[in-house]
A and B are shown apart, each in its own frame.
Chain A
Amino acid sequence: MKDVMETTAEKPHASPYGTYILVWLCLMGLTGLTVAVSGVHLGNWNAAGAVAIASTKAAVVIWYFMHLRYDKSIFRWMVLVMIITLGIILGLTFIDSTVRGPF
């Protein structure tokens, strides 16, 4: 029990505040990009673009703000497993819904 508590205890911030401000600006920029792209007519690609930008933002948040970058590699692996699982779930669902014909 104690063992677990000790190793997961909060570590001091691993990077200077400058990095966080940079990341924040980057997130704001990407938000602006989302808004801008939504005005351009790209058909189905609009959704794809929005999802791609949102995923990038989520990745940056997890990487810096949630400290994945500074943590043990096992946590990186675990997050990767989640992402792959989600990818499989979406992928296999889409091989149905994108090519479903009339019944």
Chain B
Amino acid sequence: MTEETGKSFYETGRPGIRGWIFSTDHKRIGLLYLTSMLTFFTVGVCLGLTMRLQLMFPGHSIVPAHVYNSLYTLHGVIMIFLFVIPGLPAVFGNFMLPLMLGAEDVAFPRINLLSWWLFVTGAGLALLTIFFGGLPDTGWTFYAPYSIRSGQNVSLAVFAAFILGFSSILTGLNFVVTIHRLRAKGMGWFKMPLFAWGLYATGWIQILATPVVGITLLLILVERIFHIGLFDPTIGGDPVLYQHLFWIYSHPAVYIMILPAMGAISEIVPTFSRRTIFGYKMIAFSSMAIAIVGYLVWGHHMFTSGMSNTARAVFSLLTFLVAIPTAVKVFNWLATLYKGSIVLQTPLLFALSFIFLFSIGGFTGLIQGALSTDIHLHDTTFIVAHFHYTMFGGTGFAFFGALHYWFPKMFGRMYKEKPAKLGWLLMFLGFNFLYFPLFIAGFMGQPRRYYDYLPKFAVPNLVSTIGSWILVAGLIVLAVNLIRALRFGEKAPANPWKAATLEWETSSPPPLENFVEPPVVTQGPYDFVGKGLVKG
């Protein structure tokens, strides 16, 4: 142990910006990701608001059609590749996983830093399209043959996404190895916090699925440059093959987005109901089950693509399977809350709204998973509502919940509870005003990815746009509250929420080496009674 014992990781290491961007400390890398991702999120939200403003009334108002096409593409690319996919693993996984396992760092700290550099490089390249060749207008899915013919700079954008893929693979690899090798003494697999289980399942998907999209995006590039007839039907290619390859990754990728979020919820729920989690093993296994079944269902994005009828029926059937492990988790969370001593603080509010919103997202997913109904709903705003409910209402809310949960540990400060709750309320209300009307408009037949619509869709669209303002007001309240807390917040104790997992046993913020003494684990991760946090 060095003489620097007792100092937090903020006070150790190289000073200045270089101490951050070249640091291999998992905590600093987590915070690097946090700042870069929140920056991109802010940009994405601004693009979303602009689109909603255009859609406030029927007809052209602030942006013309071709700009709208680039707006939703950029919004989608940013939100998917730069916000929800790195999502909770890159920020909270990096910061918390070694702490939760009682380790000093992740298994490969330098690869960890490399993955952040790849992330910013990929992001930079994607944004370069603004200046070179024009923003892509294909949608975030880069569907062929349009992505091959588009005159915009699709090449650079897909190359950027290719690089981002590597960042994701390296993070996943790092976490899988860390979980296998660096658990504290005494921490068997089933004494591991459930967030770690979520990251473990996610890590495997990242390793196994991401290479597929990497190659696929390169094939788009090759097709654009050499016209060899892979996906372009005019020269003998098969555009449906592109959709297969794309969704082979991108459907498992939605589980990359959601599994760590579910993991975070599994931490928050027991802490704020002061009860051990109900059905620990079932939650852990259901993460793995989701990861596995997630590979079998990609075809449900392609029901109207001209895919064979056999494949459509098989994929529709398989899709319903995913609902089972997901429901297992939801019921276990609810059972944990039942007869718990619930403390309704901000992280729990986010967790509860996660369960509510994600369930709506999940149930509407079943409507789309059924072949017959999806034919009607495909490419309508119903889909837009569905995936915002799952990705934003699910992962997004879990992200903000996790941020409020771990904020004291990460920054050593407490935020104010009242403004946080107000921010949450505005966000929750705004969210539902923003997206619920889109279910209705979509059901009535409003297509997605259009800058204009028929007058009969006017009411739901107006409500939706007003909802977007309420939501953003909530985001601003939350942001101001947290930024204020960074400077003026009360000092956080080591364990402000009386949680039972390991990260709360070290000081807030933790020292460079995480624990003064390497911890030895004797109890389960949610043993509140055994740890003396609640009376038995």
Contact = CB atoms under 8 A, between A and B. Distances in A.
Partners in one complex: yes
Interface residues of B, number: 29
Interface in A58-103: 74, 81-82, 85, 88-89, 92-93, 95-101, 103
Contacts of B107: 1, 4
A10 interface: no
Contacts of B2: none
A97 B296 contact: no
Contacts of A99: 308-311
Most buried by B among A3, A82, A88, A89: A89
A96 B308 CA distance: 5
Interface in B156-206: 177, 180-182, 204
Interface residues of A, number: 20
B18 to A, nearest CB: 22
B109 A97 contact: no
B16 interface: no
Contact of B307 (A85, A88, A89, A100): A100
Given A1-B105, A3-B181, A81 B310 contact: no
Most buried by B among A74, A82, A85, A97: A85
Contacts of B311: 92, 95-96, 99-100
B212 A95 contact: no
B241 interface: yes
Given A88-B295, A92-B296, A97 B241 contact: yes
B285 to A, nearest CB: 16
B104 A1 contact: yes
A3 B310 contact: no
B139 to A, nearest CB: 22
Contacts of A93: 241, 244, 248
Contact of B309 (A7, A74, A92, A101): A101
Contacts of A89: 212, 248, 295
B295 A85 contact: yes
A3 B208 contact: no
Interface in B306-343: 306-311, 314-315
A92 B177 CA distance: 30
Nearest to A93: B244
B412 interface: no
Given A3-B182, A92-B314, A101 B296 contact: no
A99 B180 CA distance: 42
A3 B204 CA distance: 22
A88 B295 CA distance: 8
Most buried by B among A82, A95, A103: A95
Contacts of B315: 92
Nearest to B309: A101
12 contacts: A1-B105, A1-B109, A3-B182, A7-B181, A85-B208, A89-B295, A92-B296, A92-B299, A95-B311, A97-B241, A100-B307, A101-B308
Interface of A: 1, 3-4, 7, 74, 81-82, 85, 88-89, 92-93, 95-101, 103
Interface of B: 104-105, 107-109, 177, 180-182, 204, 208, 212, 238, 240-241, 244, 248, 295-296, 298-299, 306-311, 314-315
Pairs A-B, 6 closest by C-beta atoms? A96-B311, A100-B308, A99-B308, A96-B308, A96-B307, A95-B311
Given A95-B314, A100-B307, 4 more contacts: A4-B181, A88-B295, A93-B248, A96-B240
